[in-house]
Amino acid sequence: MPRETRPRPDEEGPDPRFEPVAEAFAGVPGFSLMESKSQATRGLMLNGTSFGMSSHGRLILKLTEERARELVAQGVGKPFSPSPKRTLRDWIEVTDPSADWLALAREALELATGRGGAAR
C-alpha cells in the first residue's frame, strides 16, 4: 500500500501574511528579500543585514531588547530561540495570530535604518 506523503515544512510556500510586508518595503533603498527555493523562509535584509524573517508561518523580527520584552509581556510573541540553548534577547517570534505584521516589521525596519524610535 503506498504511503501518503505530506510536504516537508520547507515546501509549504510563502505565508500570505508576509506578502504585504514584502510589498511595503520593496521600494526602500537598500532593502532586499532573501528567499528559500520554496519561499517558506523569507528574510528581510537592509544593506545586507538581516532585521527579520518569515519562516514556516512565523514572523521573527529584530527589535530592541526593551521592545521585545514589552511585546512578550503583552502576549504578542515570545523570545526567539534559533536553537534550544540560545535565545536572542532583541529578537521576537510573533505568536499572536491577530498581530499586525506590517506595523511590527516597520518598527524593525526603523531600527535597522538607525532611526530607532518607531511608533508603537
In a domain, 85, yes or no: yes
In a domain, 51, yes or no: yes
Q: pLDDT category, 116, cuts 50, 70, 90? A: low
Mean predicted lDDT score pLDDT of the chain: 84
In a domain, 72, yes or no: yes
Q: pLDDT category, 6, cuts 50, 70, 90? A: very low
Nearest to 104 by CA among 119, 117, 115, 90: 119
In a domain, 79, yes or no: yes
| Domain count across the chain | 1
Query: What CATH number did the domain enclosing 107 receive?
Result: 3.90.1150.30
In a domain, 96, yes or no: yes
Tens of pLDDT, residue by residue over 52-77, are 999 888 899 999 999 999 999 999 99
Q: Which residues form the domain of 108?
A: 9-113
> CB 47: neighbour CB atoms within 10 A?
11
pLDDT at 9 over 70: no
CA 32 from centre of chain: 14
Tens of pLDDT, residue by residue over 93-115, are 999 999 999 999 999 999 999 87
69-96: b (≥16 Cβ within 10 Å) or e: eebeeeebbebbeeeeeeeeebbbbbee
Q: Tell me how far apart the alpha carbons of residues 15 and 9 are, in angstroms, rounded to a whole number.
A: 12
Residue 12 grid cell: 509549504
In a domain, 98, yes or no: yes
